[in-house]
Amino acid sequence: MVHSVKAFVFDAYGTLFDVYSVQKACEECFSGKGEEISKIWRQKQLEYSFLRQLMGRYRTFLEVTKDALRYTCNKLEVPLDDQKEEKLINAYLRLTPYEEVQQVLKKLENKTLAIFSNGSRDMLEPLVNQYEFSSLLDCVISVDDIKQFKPTPASYALVLDRLGVNREEVLFISSNTWDISGAKSFGFYTAWINRTGEIMDELGVRPDGIYNDLRGILEWK
């Protein structure tokens, strides 16, 4: 790769951390419905962040995550008491990282490494700091600092402000097609981590690289 990439910027949820690792806790709370709950919960979590951005009614991602969980349980008609809600929200603070994360970050340690997430700091910091690879990161950037959810251009501009780089010096890495579309539209190089054989959204932009896991981005170093 002949590009002047100085900063490797990672989305968190679905990219570094498996959001569906909450399925175990969901199953423990609601036997036989763990997979269904985890999928609807994630879908509504994203939907609510987009809707709140459009409506101009920002709430932290932790609050959005709680609202999405409550919706999911109402939809499936399962009783969510305070104890189960606390257990499931805490599961989001202990998501499992993908197995190659530590290895890939270690090989990129001569670059600027950052997380940029819609997650609020009260979700991101407990999650990231429990893992050894947190020491390899130069910065964890949350949209909480600007109260603009991705994929707005203003949110991606936060990366430039925090890292002191130009757009063309950033490789933005995400497993979420909407995030790739937003980052590419903003002017970042983009790497789509397509772990499950999905197809790209038809939004008039294409990622600069498509990989099965994070190891593929090492060709950019």
| CA proximity to 92, closest of 114, 119, 117, 116 | 119
* Averaged pLDDT of the chain: 96
Going by C-beta distance under 8 Å and a sequence separation of 6 or more, which residues neighbour residue 86? none
Separation between Cα atoms, residue 176 and residue 183, nearest integer Å: 11
11, 67, 81, 213: the catalytic one is 11
- Phi, psi at 10, each rounded to 5°: -110, 135
Q: How confident is the model at residue 4 (pLDDT cuts 50, 70, 90)?
A: confident
Domains, the chain: 7-16+98-220 (3.40.50.1000), 19-92 (1.10.150.240)
Mean pLDDT, residues 151-179: 97
Length reported for the chain: 221
Separation between Cα atoms, residue 178 and residue 182, nearest integer Å: 6
pTM: 0.95
Active site residue 161: no
| CA proximity to 179, closest of 25, 50, 63 | 50
Q: How confident is the model at residue 3 (pLDDT cuts 50, 70, 90)?
A: low
Tokens of 160: 């430039």
Concatenated DSSP letters of 19-43: GGGGHHHHHHHSTT-HHHHHHHHHH
Residue 34 has pLDDT above 90, yes or no: yes
Q: Is 18 exposed, middle or buried (0-12, 13-18, 19+ CB in 10 A)?
A: middle
> Which residue is associated with the tokens 């950019």?
220
Q: Determine the 3-state secondary structure of 117 from DSSP.
A: strand
Identify any residues that bridge with 18 across adjacent strands, giving them in sequence order.
96
